[in-house]
Amino acid sequence: MAEYLLLASGRDADVFVLDESRVLRRYRHGGDTAPEAALMAYVAAGGYPVPRVYVADGPDLVLERLDGETLLASMLAERTDVDAAADLLVELHDRLHALPARFGTAPTDRVLHLDLHPQNVMVTSRGPMVIDWRNAAEGPADLDVAVTALILAEVAVGPGAPLADIARNGLDAFQQRAEPPRASQLRRAVDLRRADPALSVAEKAALADAAALVRTRAG
- pTM over 0.75? The answer is yes
Residue 29 has pLDDT above 90, yes or no: no
Q: Omega of the bond prior to 162 within 30 degrees of 0, cis?
A: yes
* Summary mean pLDDT of the chain: 94
**pLDDT over threshold 80, residue 157:** yes
By the 8 A CB rule, do 153 and 213 touch?
A: yes
SS3 175: helix
pLDDT band, very low/low/confident/very high, at 1 (cuts 50, 70, 90): low
pLDDT attached to residue 11: 82
pLDDT above 60 for 144: yes
Instruction: Mark out the alpha helices in the chain (DSSP H runs).
Output: 34-45, 71-76, 82-97, 141-156, 163-177, 183-194, 201-205, 207-218
CATH 3.30.200.20 residue ranges of the chain are 5-64
The tens digit of pLDDT for each residue in 115-133 reads: 999 999 999 999 999 999 9
CATH homologous superfamily of 5-64: Phosphorylase Kinase; domain 1 (3.30.200.20)
b/e string for 48-87 if b means 16 or more Cβ within 10 A?
bbbbebeebeebbbbbebbeebbbbebbeeeebebeebbe
Domain at 69-218, CATH from 1.25.40, 1.10.510, 1.10.8, 1.20.5: 1.10.510
Please give the share of the chain, as a percent, with pLDDT higher than 70.
98
